Amino acid sequence: MSGLVGPALATATGLAGVGAVAGAFTLERVRPALVGVATAGVGVAGLTAGLAALGGGAPWSASLPDLLPLAGVHLTVDALSGLFMAVSGAVVAPVALYGIGYTGHGVSARGTQAVLPVFAATLLLVPAASSVSSFLLLWELMAVTSLLLVLAEHRSRAAVRDAGVWYAVMTHLGLVALLIALALFAARAGGETFPALRAGAGEVPPAVRSTVFVLAVAAFASKAGTVPLHAWLPRAHPQAPSHVSALMSAAMVNLGVYGVIRVGFDLLGGGPRWWWLVLLTAGAVSAVYGMLQAAMATDVKQLLAYSTSENMGLVLIGAGAAGMFAAAGEHPLAALALAAALLHVVNHAAFKALLFCAAGSVLRATGVRDLDALGGLRARMPVTAGLFAVGALGAVALPPGNGFVSEWLLLESLVHGLGVPGTASAVTLPLAVAAIALSAGLAAATFVKALGVGFFARPRGAEAASARESPPVMLAGMGLLAAGCVALALVPGTLAGGLSDAVAATGLTGPDGPSDPSGPAGSDAGWALSDGGVDIRLDRLATTLSPLWVAVALAVAILAVATATRLLTRHPRRVGAELWDCGGGAPSARMQYTATSFAEPLQRVFDDVLAPEQDVDVTPTRESAYLVERVRFQRRIPDRIEYRLYRPVLAALAGVGASARKLANGSVHRYLGYGFSGLVAVLLVLAVTR
């Protein structure tokens, strides 16, 4: 099977080139369609390559020494890379199809369309890189292309430029951290290809290993939107065109997780417990804080962006727990936790891509992202509403949604991790379970809000009242994603082999060698996804989840209840009725609950965490101070972490910048003097130290 990987990747790269050329040089009329088809081809090729790599066999690898001076480009696709490549491909293809219809707002401009296929290709190629220089090159290419795409609508909205600046600065600070980490690692390990790093990791002193891990995780976690390095994500994802948001939120953030797993587990070969405690804590904080912000958000795309932060937090909890278990020598359990994290990556990609596309569909039809001005869309855009509901069911982690399967697996791994001796697991794992549970509860409230306020009831504004359904090509793209969600929800067993191969590729199966952790019957400890459901067998327990069974049972029960009611009632036909109005006349659309009012009780409960800013402005009439002419009420819920953490840093930087101006007073002599004294200083240092 792995023979297919090379041709498929070559096809993907070729198609990306064709798409870029088509985007740059064709007429605006045909441009989106050509680029869309080419990008969809890139996605399909990536999916093929990924699946081929997951299908077993030796990892595919290639080396192109002439492509990059000095180091050359090295590519290797093992099962772990294959999994992430397949996820990226599976997201890119339907989203590209959707993008054909998602035009207007400056999205179909030459530059944007030319960059899109390149960005899609980098999403596939980053997991294939197998040397430090190729990885950094592709990583940076991905960052730059996504930045250009985020800026697509910069002419129409000032907020886009702001988001672009935040994204550019944070992603490049991340790159610097990553560059230092990997360069340090490569220097100590004596080689820059991944096999060399893997082989040399043992000789690297612990302090250096820890530095490498912390710096690399900071960079990767920032890409995955982990609190407190998340500030760019809720700005950039909502401001990008919706199909780009879908690609970023469903595929690009995954690569942050890929980086953590690749460097932490594979290249460094695991590490002390505190590494993983840090990762787990960061994940738990992101999960709760991200979802809390999402619950407060009224901008539907910002809500989805914060939910990405939450889901990546859950994945990092899984990865951190896996590391902890591995450090304690519990390898089957570690494999289970990592498999849960990877499964959640897949599930999140499916439902988040769908949700962003559906939100984009609404945005295109109404021009509004504010939930407070939406409503009543289920009558006007029934397909979009239905598809959003499918995605939301996945996101709330309730059966029979696809998110439930992976969160169940994650919770099971944590519950059984409590048996691992040691204070750290006994203290952190219950808290991690509580964090997952709180974020799941908040997710339920959030997505009830998004679906119920955004799509149900009556329109709250003229834009929502005049919305029309999106063109078929967008619906087709979303339909494919929804089909993926349903398949993942009902038959997660189809991923069994792929997941266990991917976990095995990280070297987590223990010192006994790469025994298959999901061996059908032979091994007594392990986990298995079968067509019927998920089985877990560890030495302390055995438990099963059968999502298909649950879905069928629910369907049967609904049918039974419906039939019984039909038989018992005497009136087969329903009649319309007025809404209850307390005798005060028909309730108007303005009397409905809005997203803000829906979230108000939660905001009050979490007042201490969210610290909302309230402003009441009462203007009395001129005649008397007791007669009120106007009351203005304003409330803002700023991202508190951003407020407390970033503002002081930015203010300090601005202060440094302002004081540095004194150095530049316009005198040419002074500037030349700086250069001269700098040169002398460097020479002096050299002379002294050497």
Partner 1 sequence: MSAVGTVAVLTQVTVVVAGAPLLTGLMRQVRARMEGRAGAGVGQPWRDLRKLLRKQPITPVGTGPAFRLAPLLLVATTLVVAALVPLASTATPVRDSADLLVVVTLLALGTVILALAGLDTGTAFGGMGASREMTVVALVEPTILLSVVALSIPAGSTNLPAIVAHGVHDPARLASPASLLAGVALAVVTLAETGRLPVDNPSTHLELTMIHEAMILEYAGGDLALIELGAQMRLTVLLGLLTSLFVPWGIATGTAAAALPLALALFAGKVALLGAGLAAAEVFWAKMRLFKVPELLAGSFLLALLAVGASFFLPGN
Partner 2 sequence: MSTGTYTQLLDLACGVFLLAAVLVLWRRELTALVRLFAVQGVVLAAIAALSGIHEHRFELLAVAVGILVLRAGVLPYLMRRVLAASGETRETEPLVNVAASLLTAAALTLLAYAASRPLVELAPSPATRALPVGLAVVLIGFFTLVTRRRALAQAVGFLLLDNGITAMAFLATSGVPLIVELGVSFDVLLAVLVLQILTTRIHATFGGTDIDDLRELHD
Interface residue list for partner 2 (CB under 8 A): 423-424, 426-427, 430-431, 605, 608
234 CB burial (10 A radius; 0-12, 13-18, 19+): buried
| Beta carbon nearer to partner 1, 30 or 418 | 418
608 binds, among partner 2, partner 1, none (CB under 5 to 8 A by kind): partner 2
The kind and range of the H/E element at 632 are: strand 628-636
* Rounded Cα distance, 121 and 96, in Å: 12
Phi/psi of residue 419, each to 5°? -75, -15
Picking from 388, 373, 389, the residue whose alpha carbon sits closest to that of residue 466 is 373
| Residue 108 one-letter amino acid | S
For the CB of residue 427, give the shortest distance to partner 2 in the complex, in Å. 5
Q: Which of 51, 411, 44, 103 is nearest to 241 (CA)?
A: 103
Nearest alpha-carbon partner for 495 in 57, 82, 121, 60: 82
Interaction pattern, residues 337-376, with partner 1; x per rule: CB under 8 A: --------------------------------------xx
CA distance 321 to 135: 26
What minimum distance in Å lies between the beta carbon of 611 and partner 1? 17
Q: Which of partner 1, partner 2, none does 7 bind, CB closer than 5 to 8 A by kind? A: none
Q: Which stretch binds partner 1 (CB under 8 A): 45-53, 211-219, 347-355, 572-580?
A: 572-580
Q: Which stretch binds partner 1 (CB under 8 A): 34-42, 65-73, 219-227, 414-422?
A: 414-422
Token pair, residue 285, equals 């904080």
* Cα end-to-end distance, the chain, whole Å: 56
Select from 558, 609, 672, 684 the one that contacts partner 1 (CB under 8 A). 558
* Residue 396, contacted partner among partner 1, partner 2, none, CB below 5-8 A by kind: partner 1
Which does residue 569 bind out of partner 1, partner 2, none, counting CB within 5 to 8 angstroms by kind?
Answer: partner 1
Q: How far apart are CA 487 and CA 497, in angstroms?
A: 16
Could you tell me the smallest distance in angstroms from the CB atom of residue 629 to partner 2?
Answer: 35
Nearer to partner 2, 423 or 665 (CB): 423
Min CB(428)–partner 2 separation in Å:
9
The entry of partner 2, partner 1, none near residue 378 (CB within 5 to 8 angstroms by kind) is: partner 1
Is residue 686 close enough to count as binding partner 1 by CB under 8 A? no
Pairing mode, strands 526-530 and 73-77: unpaired
**404 lines the binding site for partner 1 (CB under 8 A):** yes
562 makes contact, choosing from partner 1, partner 2, none, with CB < 5 to 8 Å by partner type, with partner 1
φ/ψ bin of 375: left (φ > 0), alpha (ψ from -120 to 50), beta (otherwise): left
Q: Does 67 bind partner 1 (CB under 8 A)?
A: no
Dihedral class, residue 577 (left if φ above 0, else alpha if ψ from -120 to 50, else beta): beta
d(CA 534, CA 528): 6
- Which one of partner 1, partner 2, none is in contact with 592 (Cβ closer than 5 to 8 A by kind)? partner 1
Other C-beta atoms closer than 10 Å to the C-beta of 565 total 9
Q: Does residue number 583 form part of the binding site for partner 1 (CB under 8 A)?
A: no
Using the rule CB under 8 A, give the single segment among 48-56, 97-105, 177-185, 541-549 that binds partner 1: 541-549
Subset of 447-506 contacting partner 1 (CB under 8 A) = 448-449, 451-453, 456-458
Residue with Cβ nearer partner 2 (386 or 419): 419
Q: Is the sign of the CA dihedral 297, 303, 308, 314 positive or negative?
A: positive
Shortest distance, position 558 Cβ to partner 1, whole Å: 4
Burial class (CB in 10 A: 0-12, 13-18, 19+), 562: exposed
- Residue spans of beta strands (DSSP E) within 339-482: none
Closest distance to partner 1 from the beta carbon of 210 (Å): 29
Q: Which of the choices partner 2, partner 1, none does residue 497 contact, using the CB cut-off of 5 to 8 A by kind?
A: none
662-681 burial, b at 16+ Cβ within 10 Å, e below that, comes to eeeeeeeeeeeeeeeeeeee
* Beta-carbon contacts of residue 35 (< 8 Å; ≥ 6 apart): 19, 22, 23, 96, 99, 113, 114, 116, 117
Q: Which is nearer to partner 1, 375 or 498 (CB)?
A: 375
Q: Which of 540, 635, 647, 670 binds partner 1 (CB under 8 A)?
A: 540
Of 436, 478, 485, 488, the one binding partner 1 (CB under 8 A) is 436
Q: What is the rounded CA–CA span in Å between residue 262 and residue 481?
A: 27
* Binding-site partner at residue 593 among partner 2, partner 1, none, CB < 5 to 8 Å by type: partner 1
For residue 400, say if its preceding peptide bond is cis, omega within 30 degrees of 0.
yes
Residue 86: CB minimum distance to partner 1, A: 28
Q: Determine contact, residues 59/77, Cβ cutoff 8 Å.
A: yes
Q: How far is the CB of 417 from partner 2 (least distance, A)?
A: 16
Do you find a cis peptide bond into 228, omega within 30 degrees of 0? Answer: yes
Q: Which does 611 bind (CB under 5 to 8 A by kind): partner 1, partner 2, none?
A: none
Tell me whether residue 540 or residue 604 sits nearer to partner 2 (CB atom).
604
> Taking CB within 5 to 8 Å according to partner kind, which of partner 2, partner 1, none is near residue 445?
partner 1
562 versus 651: smaller Cβ distance to partner 1: 562
Binding mask 597-626 for partner 1 (x = CB under 8 A): xxxxxx-xx---------------------
DSSP 396: T
Is residue 544 close enough to count as binding partner 1 by CB under 8 A?
yes
Q: If binding is defined by CB under 8 A, does position 379 make contact with partner 1?
A: yes
Distance of CA 389 to the CA centre of its chain: 19
Residue whose CB is less far from partner 2, 191 or 612: 612
In whole angstroms, what is the distance from residue 402 CA to residue 121 CA?
Answer: 27
Q: Whole-number minimum distance, CB 344 to partner 1, in Å?
A: 15
- Of 295 and 368, the one with the shorter C-beta distance to partner 1 is 295
* Residue placing its CB nearer to partner 2 in the complex, 423 or 667: 423
Element (H or E) spanning 37, and its range?
helix 31-54
Instruction: Give the integer Cα–Cα distance in Å for 615 and 604.
Output: 16
Distance (Å, whole) CA 489 – CA 503: 21
Residue 27: name its binding partner from partner 1, partner 2, none (Cβ under 5 to 8 Å by kind): none
